[in-house]
Amino acid sequence: MTAELATEPVGPAALPAACALLIRFFREEGFATAPDGIARNLEAMLEDPSCWLALARSGGAAAGIVTVSIMRMVEHGLVAELGDLYVLPEHRGRGVARSLVAAAASWSRARGCSAIVVTVTPEGEARHRLSGFYDRLGFATTGRTIRERRLS
């Protein structure tokens, strides 16, 4: 029998499970943020009303995570950005990510966002063919690129 899937917002009690998933995600994908930085940033997100995190559980065990943050801009008003999306390898291909993204979209819509966006890194594209995944979930390419200047 397939374990039942459920999605829930992350509160303080689920923070360690959320943190463990993100530490694993960052390690597997090669993101530089250290575990203590991940934990600090997650705690700050829980306190910030413009951010939201949700866990997917399979038969009660943590199976995936999504984080979303809202930005306010002149062009589109409020826009949500999917910051992190990760599903444990053994739970992939069962609609876990689809349900996490649906939950994030619904939270963002309820807060007045006009769109939800995501950044696909070249590494993510090479490893997981993320453009095909986001096509399936209705995210169109914009042709715009992201540039970054570090502020130290």
Ligand X SMILES: CC(C)(COP(=O)(O)OP(=O)(O)OC[C@H]1O[C@@H](n2cnc3c(N)ncnc32)[C@H](O)[C@@H]1OP(=O)(O)O)[C@@H](O)C(=O)NCCC(=O)NCCS
Tokens at 23, concatenated: 């530490």
As a whole number of angstroms, the distance between CA 142 and CA 51 comes to: 24
Residue of 27, 40, 92, 109 interacting with ligand X (CB under 6 A): 92
Residue of 94, 111, 117, 125 interacting with ligand X (CB under 6 A): 94
In single-letter form, the type of residue at position 15 comes to L
As a whole number of angstroms, the distance between CA 144 and CA 40 comes to: 31
Q: Show contacts with ligand X in window 4-63 (CB under 6 A).
A: 25
- CB of 15 or CB of 137, closer to ligand X: 137
Shortest distance, position 64 Cβ to ligand X, whole Å? 6
Residue of 53, 70, 87, 113 interacting with ligand X (CB under 6 A): 87
Segment interacting with ligand X, rule: CB under 6 A, options 10-18, 72-80, 85-93, 144-152? 85-93
Cα torsion 5, 139, 111, 119: sign = positive
- CB of 87 or CB of 113, closer to ligand X: 87
Tokens at 90, concatenated: 């053994």
Contact indicator for 9, 53 with CB cutoff of 8 Å: yes
Distances (CA, A) of 128 to 21, 40, 82, 93: 18, 28, 17, 12
Contact indicator for 94, 132 with CB cutoff of 8 Å: no
Residue of 26, 52, 133, 139 interacting with ligand X (CB under 6 A): 133
Residue of 42, 96, 103, 113 interacting with ligand X (CB under 6 A): 96
Contacts with ligand X by CB under 6 A: the residue count is 20
Residues within the interface to ligand X (CB under 6 A): 25, 85-87, 92-98, 118, 120, 124, 128-130, 132-133, 136
